[in-house]
Amino acid sequence: MKTYIFIGLASLAGILSVSAQSTEKSIQIVIENPWQTEKIDEPVVIDLHSLNTDFTIKSALVSDGTTEIPSQLDDMNGDARADELAFVVNLPAASQKTLTVTLSSQQATSHYPARVYAEMLFRTSKKKRYAKGYAIYADGDADTYNIQHHHGAAFESELVAYRIYFNEKQTTDLYGKFHKGLEIEESQFYPTDEQLKRGFGDDVIKVNNSCGAGTLRGWDGIQTTFIKPVAIRGQRILASGPVRTIVDAEVKGWKYQGKELNMTNRYTLYAGHRDTQVDVIFDTSLTDEVFATGVQNITGHADKYSDHHGLVASWGTDWPVNDTLKYKKETVGLATYIPQKYVIKEATDKENFLYILSAPGQRSFRYYTMFTSCKETFGYPTKEKWFAHVKEWKKQLEQPIKIQIVNL
């Protein structure tokens, strides 16, 4: 069976201006943190369509008084027009902040330092030479695992890096770091000996057939199932920084529980974050389908924490690759949080600690997943500290900021 690959640019940076005359609109955004704990690098996302501008938005300037806040415009539907404005802010406990946003029809002149990165690399006829791409689709029964370098799209923040296998597993595999910083563009997920000596991180988990950290799977009543059979399988990079990355894992015609589902798993990773937001999107409303996600039970002997209300975490040690001579064992902590309204029950199979979930009548649902590596100089070196952190993480997620938009 042939495999068909389509590569298309997703960046707004290459869109040509069609008008020499600048049109602008300014708004104020009032952001409130009602919680009694500060929020650092809190994501703010503005739906540009809700602002009713009468021009095509090609740049945005976000200001906190005289301080410019790095931001980005993202095209979410592939029509080469900006749909969302995204940035992150720091908010003290029980505080409010008013920001000014100026939208313009002119191309951006500001260039912000990257705090995140995403890449998709296709193999070429030359060994160790790769072509950058932004989207790939293939026949659902094609052997797609080795089409891409590092076996699928990869994305990172300063703290962590992920990759998504481009096959029926669609597993999130994990790259841990010793020090904060961006590494994937240089290391391509496989650091050299020289890079390792310089303190680069690398792969920290052998996911086997598990859900790794928060991979969505099917559920047959006893164990998780892979995302197959499908008619078409794809991946896309919708955004690669400087503030957030957005990567899609997409299937069409997934024959599952008597249905044919078109599903997108959208992973969004923000600057300053180790957790990634997972949006599971369908083109029609769900009925009685059930799914599973959670965390890997590493080697089958991991330590587990669950609050029995959507939060599950694990802590375990294993070799991340088959080469046990060159590489050493890695200890990682994993965590996944599913809002209680989607949870049916807890479950386990031979490789995972799970929640079974459903969203009848909905066309999407959202959950979160994250990990830490014990090698981090900035992370959580013990299971006690990791499990304490995941409890606070859930509290943070359940105390969202409030956003009010005021037209000037």
Q: What is the pLDDT of residues 288-306, one digit of tens each?
A: 999 999 999 999 999 999 9
Residue 385 pLDDT > 60, yes or no? yes
Cβ pair 267, 155 in contact under 8 A: yes
Q: What are phi and psi of 217, to 5 degrees?
A: -135, 165
Confidence of residue 110 (pLDDT cuts 50, 70, 90): confident
At 35, list the tokens.
């919680």
Counting runs of H as helices and runs of E as strands, what totals does the chain give? 3, 29
Please give the full DSSP string across 49-117, using - where no structure is assigned: GGG--SS---EEEEEETTEEEPEEEE-SSSSSS--EEEEEEEE-TTEEEEEEEEEESSPP---PPPSEE
**Could you tell me the two tokens for 147?**
């089409």
Instruction: State the Cα–Cα distance between residues 255 and 365, nearest whole angstrom.
Output: 20
Task: Please identify which residue in the block is written with the tokens 């790939």.
Answer: 136
State which amino acid sits at residue 200.
Answer: F
- At the topology level, CATH places domain 116-397 in Beta-galactosidase; Chain A, domain 5 (2.70.98)
Q: Judge whether residue 383 has pLDDT over 50.
A: yes
CA–CA separation, 225 vs 217, rounded Å? 6
pLDDT over 60 (residue 18): no
- Quote the pLDDT of residue 109: 84
How confident is the model over 386-401, as a mean pLDDT?
Answer: 97
Please count the other Cβ atoms lying within 10 Å of the Cβ belonging to residue 278.
22
Domain 23-106+401-407 = CATH 1.10.230.10? no
Contact indicator for 73, 60 with CB cutoff of 8 Å:
yes
Q: Where in the chain is the domain with CATH 2.60.40.1180?
A: 23-106+401-407
Compute the average pLDDT of residues 143-166: 97
Beta strand 303-306 pairing with 24-33: unpaired
Which position has the token pair 């409303």?
285
Count Cβ atoms below 10 Å from residue 190 Cβ, excluding itself: 11
Name the residue among 293, 243, 249 with its Cα closest to residue 269. 243
Q: What tokens appear for 143 in the block?
A: 């052997």
Listed in sequence order, the DSSP H helices in 135-259 are: 184-187, 193-197
Which tokens is 408 given? 């000037």
Across the range 127-151, mean pLDDT stands at: 94
pLDDT of residue 4: 42
Q: What is the pTM of this model?
A: 0.93
Question: Rounded CA gap, 208 and 215, in Å?
Answer: 13
Distance of CA 170 to the CA centre of its chain: 13
Contact 174, 32 (CB under 8 A): no
Q: pLDDT band at residue 9, thresholds of 50, 70 and 90?
A: very low
Domain with CATH 2.70.98 in the chain: 116-397
Query: In Å, how far are 14, 15, 58, 109 from 19, measured between CA atoms?
Result: 15, 12, 11, 16
User: What average pLDDT does range 58-85 have in this prediction?
Assistant: 96
Contact indicator for 164, 151 with CB cutoff of 8 Å: no
